Amino acid sequence: MTEEPQGEAFVTIFDDTYDQPDCRAYFRMMDALGYRNQHHATAAFRAGLDALCRARGIAAPRVLDFASSYGIVTLLMRFDITLAGVFARYRDPGFDGLSSAEVIARDRAWLTGLPRRAPPLHVTGLDIMPNAVAYGRAVGVFDEGYSEDLETSAPSAALAAALGQVDMIVECGSVAQLMPRALDRVLAACGPRKPWLMSSPIRGNERAAAAEVLRAHGMVQEQLPAPPFVHRRFEDPEEQARAIANARAAGHETDGVETTGHFHAQVLLARPEGEAAPVGDWPLPMTVAPLD
């Protein structure tokens, strides 16, 4: 899914890379544009997942990767691999001449051999791009996956059943902040005990409509006390100017942040009101770590 707010020319979008039969173009695009959001956000997501498991006594949580694309967030949460390692893998020119079936077979074997992080996860991928979801399922990133547009229609019976078991929702890059109808449908299907939701929107992409949806479902949202981190480089000066204007309009100080030439993001956490305990003891990165 894209980063662009509905009805606004906020960022450059790269739709041609989001629904290929395999992940090569997608990860090479991310690498070329200097994406870092997933590297930083998933460290916070893992801290939140650990806190959720302690709070609810869960040994094997079920996670929804919202706007999952090829599953990079799940990949970094589930396997002992870094974003730098993923980018390095797909720079290999040996991937160039392979068919999609060969890439999928190679990636399935690669992931089978990677160590897994604790706790064990059951992950559902959700995206409007069917090829991306199919790839994630084929290689073993997702346990199940659905290609449905919840902005335009209610979830299928199968997806609704999966959502009813979800403990945590994760999303990188702003989409959950921009799709209040989809967010409302997801949370409605999740049943009476709502999952925790962690997202990392680009600064300036926070949306009041999303916060209203969360409140309507008995959830409270907060920004985690960690510094802003790089999302990706700006494509051009015009994109930078739009980003600075949007971030300032949302009340952010942009000097030394967006003025450095990169979109920046921060992590938002939403929980049922009765579970909104302090996060001061979470092992959050208080400095922005390098990619590798």
- pLDDT, averaged per 10 consecutive residues of the chain (292 residues), comes to 42 67 95 93 95 97 96 97 96 97 98 96 96 97 97 96 98 75 95 95 91 96 93 94 95 96 95 92 66 53
Given this model, what pLDDT does residue 167 score? 98
Give the model confidence (pLDDT) of 257-274 as tens digits. 999 999 999 999 999 999
Delineate the domains of the chain, giving CATH numbers in brackets.
Answer: 15-275 (3.40.50.150)
Q: Is the peptide bond before 119 cis (omega within 30 degrees of 0)?
A: yes
Q: In the structure encoding, which two tokens stand for residue 175, read together?
A: 């989409």
Given this model, what pLDDT does residue 186 score? 96
Phi, psi (rounded to 5 degrees) for 107:
-70, -35
Nearest Cα neighbor of 14 from 258, 27, 103 is 27
Given this model, what pLDDT does residue 4 score? 43
Given this model, what pLDDT does residue 280 score? 83
Non-local CB neighbours of 27 within 8 Å, separated by 6+ positions: 70, 72, 86, 87, 89, 90
* Angle, vertex CA 266, rays to CA 143 and CA 210, nearest 5: 70
Pairing of strands 268-272, 196-200: antiparallel
d(CA 5, CA 11) in angstroms, rounded, equals 8
Q: In the structure encoding, which two tokens stand for residue 236, read together?
A: 């051009």
Sequence letter at residue 115: P
Given this model, what pLDDT does residue 288 score? 52
| Element holding 184 (H helix, E strand) | helix 180-189
Helix (H/G/I), strand (E/B), else coil: 268: strand
Instruction: Tell me if the pTM is above 0.85.
Output: yes
Largest alpha-carbon pair distance within the chain?
54
d(CA 176, CA 41) in angstroms, rounded, equals 14
d(CA 111, CA 132) in angstroms, rounded, equals 17
Helix (H/G/I), strand (E/B), else coil: 161: helix
